[in-house]
Structure 1
Amino acid sequence: MQTGASPLSRTLANLFLWGAVLVALLPLGLVALNAFKPHTAIVANPLSLPESLSLDNFARAWNGGKFSIGIVNSLLLSGTTTLITLAFASLAAFALARRKIPGWQLITIYFLCATTVPIQLFLFPLYFVYAKLGIVGNFAATALILAAINLPITIFLLRAYVISIPQDVDDAAFMDGANPLQTFLHVILPLMRPGLITVAIIVFLNSWNEFLITSTFQKGRSNITMTLGYLSMNGTYATDQGALMAGAFILVAPIVVFFLLLQRFFISGMTSGAVKG
């Protein structure tokens, strides 16, 4: 009796995966290629190799996009959003997985519905409230909105990790005299580390790439993020494709490096949740 996939199916699967990789990397490769070329060379032939590895485009993009300010603000906003999301999502996941909450099915449906509602519906009332409170441009206030957007999916992911942890672990902690909060902090939370890392990566990347919320609530030159800084280049450098390509490379490079450094944790966390959850 044969087991496993046939050589043909494995070959087709590998070809499909390599094709997907090429499709994903091709735009990044073109950006990196044209970031070192002047505007005239890009317009003449965007697929040609650069004649030299000049960093002039990067210097203009860094200054024009105000990336020295934007990278600090993006790290602050993304980091704050990630911390808020992890704090609330881990507590909610623990409660939904371990406590018999009346009507928990309705709560689950509510979270599912929340993932489908467009945030554009809430922009005007949110901005009105934020303007009244005088917190437009406040990173913590903006991070609360981004955290609320990411909470439904992160709660579902972390709930799967809590369910995968045997109930006997909780019972042993209770037998030793631990209360629910102590059980969560000292027993369950350390065991959720793969899920927490996975969720942190997802939320951080979503917050870094977010544009609609930051462009609405992060007003002022001192509050500019990387995405907003790159947007500001479109008017000034509309006829300088080299600077725009360099700016796109500067915008994308940190998150690519961030994901490559943490991809091992991300993959192990996703597979662990898929198997155990």
Structure 2
Amino acid sequence: MSTLTHDTTPTAEPSATPRPTTATRRRRTTPNTLLSKGAVNGLLIVAAGYTLLPVTWLLFAATKNHRDLFATSGFAFGDFNLLTNLHRVLTFNDGIYLRWFGNSVLYSVVGSAASTFICVATGYAFDEYDFRGKEKLFGLVLGGVLVPTTVIQLPMYLLATKAGVVNTYWALLLPALVNPFGVYLARVFSEGYVPNEILEAARVDGAGELRTFARIALPMLAPGFMTIFLFSFTASWNNFFGALVMLNDEQLYPVNLGLFMWNSVTQQQPEFYSLVITGSLVAVVPLIVAFVCLQRFWRSGLTAGAVK
């Protein structure tokens, strides 16, 4: 009778591949990380330089007289005639440039503030209230975002003619009140910044809907309000085609349309070149100031609703 024996000697397990240490992983990933960061930073520098190139050229050109403007390099300072050129711009034709600048401030600040308030109130209503046809109506608003502004300028001009507001301040202020993209952004901000629990608590305490919106929701929507205002302000300040269609009186021109009119006579009167260049440099300043002062609201507003 034979006895079967089994080898109970434990077999040696294959040795596991040793994991790389932290220092090894750091040595392996550091070159790739530095390369990716360098590529990203390089692209950002190129994009920033490309964006600032026209403004830089304006700054150099505004320091030149008419002769140096065509006789020297584009990116070289002249005889530092910036103050002289600025004085000519502000005093030319009885200070018409200051009138244009003030008109642009009126169109952009007043129109954008009113438009932003309407957008915030509308977006808040779309977010907090349920009513029949809500999503269909909101889809109609989003459809307005897809329509280019230049396409509707002729219908808007005909409507303004019927209303008798052509060649008045209202011709640019009234169309600025309608901002479908601002309504969309306002709804997104309302969903991200205004908790329903706080609104319900306010209603339980006896606050009406208008008071709840003004005292509770609107302060919470301050980042969104400033973000929409910044976009609307930029669009209004750069609104050239609408002003060209609606206005005929040079006393009502915004600054960009006034500069266009000056530029249109430079072939016959070359001395207008320095006026156009210096005036363009001054016209850029409000946009820079607006972005610098409001960028903290804009950056915080961009992340609204990103994390639920």
The structure with the greater share of residues assigned to helix is 1
Q: Distance in 1 between matches of 2:307 and 2:66?
A: 52
Determine the structure 1 residue equivalent to 2:135. 105
What secondary structure is seen at the aligned counterpart in 2 of 1:6? helix
Q: Distance in 1 between matches of 2:163 and 2:123?
A: 31
Higher RCO (Cα < 8 Å, 6 or more apart): 1
Q: Distance in 2 between matches of 1:218 and 1:146?
A: 15
Q: Distance in 1 between matches of 2:82 and 2:244?
A: 32
Counterpart code for 2:162: K
Q: TM (normalized to structure 2)?
A: 0.81
- Greater than 4 Å deviation, 4+ residue runs: 1-5
Q: Determine if the alignment matches structure 1 residue 77 to structure 2 residue 107.
A: yes
Q: Distance in 2 between matches of 1:265 and 1:92?
A: 20
Instruction: Kindly tell me the number of residue pairs found equivalent between the two proteins.
Output: 274
Residue 50 of structure 1 is aligned with which of 50, 64, 78? 78
Determine the structure 1 residue equivalent to 2:186. 158
Q: Give the root-mean-square deviation of aligned CA atoms.
A: 2.4
Residue 27 of structure 1 is aligned with which of 32, 43, 54? 54
CA pair 274-28 structure 1, distance change in 2 beyond 3 A: farther
Q: Is the 8 A contact 2:120 2:183 kept in 1?
A: yes
The percentage of aligned residue pairs carrying the same residue is 25
Q: TM (normalized to structure 1)?
A: 0.89
CA pair 196-179 structure 1, distance change in 2 beyond 3 A: same
Q: Is the 8 A contact 2:172 2:243 kept in 1?
A: yes
Q: Determine if the alignment matches structure 1 residue 182 to structure 2 residue 214.
A: no
Determine the structure 2 residue equivalent to 1:260. 292
Q: Is the 8 A contact 2:66 2:274 kept in 1?
A: yes
Could you list the runs of 5+ residues in structure 2 that have no partner in the other structure? Answer: 1-21
Could you list the runs of 5+ residues in structure 1 that have no partner in the other structure? Answer: none
CA pair 179-52 structure 1, distance change in 2 beyond 3 A: closer
CA pair 169-215 structure 1, distance change in 2 beyond 3 A: same
Residue 199 of structure 1 is aligned with which of 225, 228, 243? 228
Deviations, residues 137-173 of structure 1 (Å, cap 9, x unaligned): 332342121222xx11111111111111211011111
> Which one has a bigger Cα radius of gyration?
2
CA pair 204-54 structure 1, distance change in 2 beyond 3 A: closer
